[in-house]
Amino acid sequence: MIEFTKQKDFFVGIDSDGCVFDTMELKHKECFIPQFINYFELQGVSKFAREAAEFVNLYSKSRGCNRFLALMEQLDWLAKRPEVVARQANIPRLASVQQWIDSETKLGNPALQQAVEAGDDADLARTLAWSQEVNQTVAKIVRNVPPFPHVRSALEKLFSQADMLVVSATPNEALETEWNDHDVAKYVRAICGQEAGTKKETLALAADYEPSHRLMIGDAPGDYQAAQTNDCLFFPINPGAEEASWQQLSTEGIERFFSGAFAGDYQQQLLDTFDRYLPENPHWLTNA
Ligand SMILES: [Mg+2]
């Protein structure tokens, strides 16, 4: 576990991908999805594989979830899709990966590598190879993506009274690079990626602060669930309207948070708006 002791009166957890940085489209469309199609032999149904992966990772309530959970969900959607069934495509079901997910709490490459070395399982090995190649592709392709407008002014204001922590499902190495390259690491006390545990586990560090002094900022329902579990307030960065969300946080939300006028009606309004941004079901079901 990371070293983190309370220094200020307020606590703020901040998600990174799709929240501070506009990296979601780039990472998924250029890095995750091409490797998904390649490593899981989905060439013959590549269009549907892409749509399933985009839906799960970008445009659904699962947006922003851990990559291994997303992998299982996108294969599931893909296997059920009528056009894929009609093509009699062989969609891998990765039973051993599901078993690993069910028994492991640190769903990252280090834990998966141990599982691969402990046995002789082709699906675990292939999933690790995919995940490692994704990291290499991200390192090669993702650059020049600055924080969203209004992020800096918001972090400046929060920094005056809050201990801040990056709470993310991205590998630590990529997070360190992004936060340092764009000179925003100086605002946070620590950077906690997927190797540190789930967002729910990491946000447990908020327990030293009064509930009304704990805030999570995120762009995905999983961020909100992690906040709820740890009795934190939640400010949503709405997918597709990130700039307006950060502006609202910077000009109004932070003041409300510091003055105790955030919980209740204001929180509920934010959540109601957020809920309308992401669907439960993919377009190929709703338009059918
Ligand atoms: Mg995110």
Burial 90-118 (b: 16+ CB within 10 A, else e): ebbebebbbebbeeeeebbbebbeebbee
Q: Could you name the CATH architecture of 10-22+147-275?
A: 3-Layer(aba) Sandwich (3.40)
pLDDT in tens, 15-32: 999 999 999 999 999 999
Residue 220 alpha carbon to ligand 1 centre in Å: 6
Residue 128 alpha carbon to ligand 1 centre in Å: 22
Q: Which two tokens stand for residue 61?
A: 């309530």
Residue 16 alpha carbon to ligand 1 centre in Å: 6
Q: Count CB neighbours of 283 within 10 A.
A: 11
Residue 40 alpha carbon to ligand 1 centre in Å: 25
Residues of the chain with pLDDT under 50: none
Residue 168 alpha carbon to ligand 1 centre in Å: 7
Residue 169 alpha carbon to ligand 1 centre in Å: 8
Q: Which two tokens stand for residue 33?
A: 């999805």
Q: Count CB neighbours of 119 within 10 A.
A: 10
Residue 122 alpha carbon to ligand 1 centre in Å: 30
Nearest Cα to Cα of residue 85 among 48, 134, 30, 122: 48
Alpha-carbon distance of 45 to 258, in angstroms, equals 51
Edge-to-edge strand list for the sheet holding 190-192: 190-192, 162-167, 10-14, 214-218, 233-236
- DSSP 3-state of 64: coil
pLDDT at 1: 53
pLDDT at 28: 97
Residue 193 alpha carbon to ligand 1 centre in Å: 12
Residue 271 alpha carbon to ligand 1 centre in Å: 16
Residue 52 alpha carbon to ligand 1 centre in Å: 18
Residue 23 alpha carbon to ligand 1 centre in Å: 9
* HEC letters along 21-60: ECCHHHHHHHHHHHHHHHHCCCHHHHHHHHHHHHHHHCCC
pLDDT at 288: 60
- Domain regions of the chain by residue span: 10-22+147-275, 24-141
What is the model's pTM? 0.86
